[in-house]
């Protein structure tokens, strides 16, 4: 396992934040109600500033997957992410599901999302994560057509791996996540539809620390998926900081953006 990651690092940890804001409420769950929308606003008002401050204090780079709508509404926050050197990835336009909508709709959503991010960063994003991990068949093709380096919507492995696009079988690098390492699986509460949520942060810390330790032992990769409106609570930010401190006790842990992980993986493949 030695030599897989840059600078002799033993394992790679990718912190990622899906900045859905209100889109998950008004679009994904079709609940454009003030109460639900304000949950999304919490992510922008409290979550993002706390996350950016934490990353700054520990000198870490992360990946923010941002729907185009969110970038259009909160450009100042996305500008701050970009200016701090974090990766900005594509996450749909309104966090919509485009599975079964056809190639044309998938292309329209992908293009709109790219335009919104490009207005802020000046570049086409290199990474994509489908809203709620629901990757649509044509989008994976379209990512390659638009010069994306990787997808991070699937959960089929621990390490980056190759997938074949559904239509033409072209290779696309997958940088996988997992539901175990996603904050919403544990913390997101809702009445309708009912999500239990409200896990103790001690319970989640126990799971996340064990997963991190396993990745370290394997010399592997681990993606952590968080949402500003969920992880951004004070109690959960304290849990995240505790985890970062645990990981930083080991100098061989490489904190990297998902794009850096993808590029390191590709570089390694090209020499082996």
The residues binding Zn ion (CB under 5 A) are 18, 20, 131
Shortest separation between residue 169's beta carbon and Zn ion, angstroms: 28
Q: For Zn ion, which is the closer residue by CB, 113 or 131?
A: 131
Q: For Zn ion, which is the closer residue by CB, 18 or 96?
A: 18
What b/e sequence results for 197-234 when a residue is b if at least 16 CB atoms lie within 10 Å of its CB, and e otherwise? eebebeebbeebeebbeebbeebbbbbbbbbbbbbbbe
Q: Measured between alpha carbons, how far is 243 from 229 in angstroms, rounded to an integer?
A: 19
Q: Measured between alpha carbons, how far is 223 from 206 in angstroms, rounded to an integer?
A: 16
Q: For Zn ion, which is the closer residue by CB, 131 or 220?
A: 131
- Helix pair angle (48-58, 75-83), 10° resolution: 10
Shortest separation between residue 20's beta carbon and Zn ion, angstroms: 4
Shortest separation between residue 95's beta carbon and Zn ion, angstroms: 5
Shortest separation between residue 237's beta carbon and Zn ion, angstroms: 19
Shortest separation between residue 56's beta carbon and Zn ion, angstroms: 23
- Which residue in the block uniquely carries the two structure tokens 């991070």? 152
- Which residue in the block uniquely carries the two structure tokens 């993606």? 223
Q: For Zn ion, which is the closer residue by CB, 131 or 176?
A: 131
Q: Measured between alpha carbons, how far is 25 from 140 in angstroms, rounded to an integer?
A: 25
Shortest separation between residue 70's beta carbon and Zn ion, angstroms: 10
Q: For Zn ion, which is the closer residue by CB, 121 or 184?
A: 184
Name the nearest CA neighbour of 186 among 222, 130, 225. Answer: 225
Q: For Zn ion, which is the closer residue by CB, 18 or 94?
A: 18
- Helix pair angle (103-121, 137-145), 10° resolution: 40
Q: Decide the pairing of beta strands 150-151 and 253-255.
A: unpaired
Q: Measured between alpha carbons, how far is 233 from 46 in angstroms, rounded to an integer?
A: 8
Shortest separation between residue 18's beta carbon and Zn ion, angstroms: 4
DSSP SS3 for 56: helix
Q: For Zn ion, which is the closer residue by CB, 9 or 20?
A: 20
Q: Measured between alpha carbons, how far is 184 from 20 in angstroms, rounded to an integer?
A: 12
Q: For Zn ion, which is the closer residue by CB, 152 or 165?
A: 152
Shortest separation between residue 24's beta carbon and Zn ion, angstroms: 6
In the bound complex, which residue of the shown chain has the CB atom lying closest to Zn ion?
18
Using an 8 Å Cβ cutoff, are 51 and 75 in contact?
no
């Amino acid at each position: 396992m030695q030599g897989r990651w840059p600078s002799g690092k033993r394992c790679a940890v990718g912190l990622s934040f899906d900045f859905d804001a209100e889109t998950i409420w008004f679009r994904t769950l079709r609940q454009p109600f003030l109460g639900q929308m304000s949950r999304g606003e919490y992510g922008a008002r409290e979550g993002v500033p706390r996350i950016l401050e934490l990353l700054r204090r520990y000198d870490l780079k992360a990946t923010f997957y941002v729907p185009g709508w969110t970038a259009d509404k909160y450009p100042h926050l996305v500008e701050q992410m970009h200016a701090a050197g974090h990766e900005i990835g594509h996450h749909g336009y309104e966090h919509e599901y485009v599975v079964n909508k056809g190639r044309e709709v998938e292309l329209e959503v992908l293009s709109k999302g790219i335009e919104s991010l490009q207005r802020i960063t000046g570049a086409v994003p290199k990474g994509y994560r489908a809203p709620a991990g629901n990757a649509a068949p044509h989008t994976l093709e379209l990512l390659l057509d638009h010069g994306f380096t990787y997808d991070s919507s699937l959960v089929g492995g621990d390490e980056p791996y190759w997938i074949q696009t559904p239509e033409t079988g072209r290779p696309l690098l997958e940088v996988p996540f997992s539901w175990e390492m996603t904050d919403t699986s544990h913390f997101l509460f809702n009445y309708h539809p009912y999500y239990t949520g409200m896990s103790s942060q001690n319970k989640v810390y126990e799971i996340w620390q064990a997963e991190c330790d396993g990745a370290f032992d394997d010399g592997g990769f681990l993606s952590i998926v968080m949402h500003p409106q969920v992880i951004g609570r004070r109690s959960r930010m304290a849990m995240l900081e505790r985890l970062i401190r645990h990981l930083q006790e080991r100098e061989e842990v490489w904190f990297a953006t998902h794009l850096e992980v993808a590029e390191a993986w590709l570089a390694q493949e090209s020499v082996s």
